[in-house]
Amino acid sequence: MTQATTRAVFLDRDGVLNRAIVRDSKPYPPASLAEMEILPGAPEAAKRLAQAGFLLIVVTNQPDVARGTTTRETVEEINGAIGRIMPISEFRVCYHDSADGCDCRKPKPGALLAAARVHQIDLPRSFMVGDRWRDIEAGQAAGCKTIFIDYGYDEKQPKNVDFSVGSLEEAARRILETC
């Protein structure tokens, strides 16, 4: 068996790389490429992490596809735009809704574990960065260090995060200081 030696930063998409659309203190994905806005400092933070040797893997839940309120094409168009701006190694998208019970939907760690197998990722030396409790729980279940970008959403909050920060820029600083 090959020893896992690659370090990765797993990134949620909406609220980490691009601005989440907040309605009634809850975050939602942009409904179109025109509505998508890259967060200030996110491209530079991603480049610094990649230059430090981390694979950048986006792990995102997009249940609006299963709910019929957006299309795969829209999700892929937004991912493509992000991928042209940032050095993302891979996008792993869960198109299911909670009731589907799949392993790839965060808070389950299936998408992180699958990426770890493909890329020989050393999970204890890797990080999950997210803005919701589901991201943090998935990272914890996969054995990663976790970084919570806290926007004060009106929803369940994560427990026992390794770091709580205000932006991907700050998360990148913490990661680079820790390594």
Let me know if 114 is exposed, middle or buried by CB neighbors in 10 A (0-12, 13-18, 19+).
middle
pLDDT for 3: 75
pLDDT for 128: 98
pLDDT for 1 beyond 70: no
78-135 pLDDT tens trace = 999 999 999 999 999 999 999 999 999 999 999 999 999 999 999 999 999 999 999 9
Half-sphere exposure (Cβ direction) of 12: Cα atoms closer than 13 Å: 33
Q: Where are the domains of the chain?
A: 8-178
Tell me the catalytic residues.
12, 14
| CATH code of the domain occupying 8-178 | 3.40.50.1000
43-90 pLDDT tens trace = 999 999 999 999 999 999 999 999 999 999 999 999 999 999 999 999
Question: What crossing angle do the helices spanning 168-178 and 42-51 adopt, rounded to 10°?
Answer: 20
Q: Exposed e or buried b for every residue in 17-51, given b needs 16+ CB within 10 A?
A: bbbbbeeeeebebbeeeeebeebeebbebbeebbe
Half-sphere exposure (Cβ direction) of 127: Cα atoms closer than 13 Å: 27
Copy the structure tokens of residue 101.
């019970």
Let me know if 57 is exposed, middle or buried by CB neighbors in 10 A (0-12, 13-18, 19+).
buried
* pLDDT confidence bin for 5, thresholds 50/70/90: confident
With beta carbons less than 8 A apart as the criterion, state whether 91 and 111 touch: no
